[in-house]
Chains A and B, each alone.
Chain A
Amino acid sequence: ETGVTQTPRHLVMGMTNKKSLKCEQHLGHNAMYWYKQSAKKPLELMFVYNFKEQTENNSVPSRFSPECPNSSHLFLHLHTLQPEDSALYLCASSQEVAGDYEQYFGPGTRLTVT
């Protein structure tokens, strides 16, 4: 595997379910990100991890719980979601958080909450 991978690619869950999204990067990067991309809305940065430590949480509801066990893996645990949480969830990584490092994105997980 190369680049940034995300599983599953598609997920349908009920509002009472608990599920997790997984992201893995094979680039040796130190920073990882979760973004939410909804239809007709701009890209929303949710969480940032740098060297496994969370450095940014952009007022994300507690029903989204990130986990970064090491620099290569990032999870997003989901529970009691709402229909408005349906979106494409993108994971990205970069060499470091600051400055001139571009981000490498995974293909995303298309989440539908019913």
Chain B
Amino acid sequence: AQSVTQPDIHITVSEGASLELRCNYSYGATPYLFWYVQSPGQGLQLLLKYFSGDTLVQGIKGFEAEFKRSQSSFNLRKPSVHWSDAAEYFCAVSAGKSTFGDGTTLTVKP
């Protein structure tokens, strides 16, 4: 069965600092991988997705993620965080059905 682990429940970064959110998955083959963002009181919005090909994928709002097969990871990065990035971030894996991680809450300090 597939599974997703987001090891960090809560991360705090200063505005302008770089960000990396971790995601590890468990699946026998290469799954389809997604990152979603949820602002308070809103639904989830897709940031980016990986299916195949280039292991570094670009998404919206300046986010990128890198697929590393050897580490079963799909970490989300942003070089310079803005206050508006404060939200909850979900990693998801899809292989016939979608499985979401428990989420990482990002707080941005001024």
Contacts and interface: CB of A to CB of B under 8 A. Distances in A.
Query: Which size bracket describes the interface of B in this complex?
Result: 20 to 34
Given A105-B45, A106-B43, A110-B41, A43 B100 contact: yes
A43 B42 contact: no
Main secondary structure of the interface of A (DSSP, over half): loop
Interface residues of A, number: 21
Contacts, number: 48
Contact of B94 (A90, A100, A105): A100
A97 B97 contact: yes
Nearest to A94: B98
B97 A108 contact: no
Given A97-B97, A103-B44, 5 more contacts: A4-B43, A98-B96, A100-B49, A102-B49, A104-B46
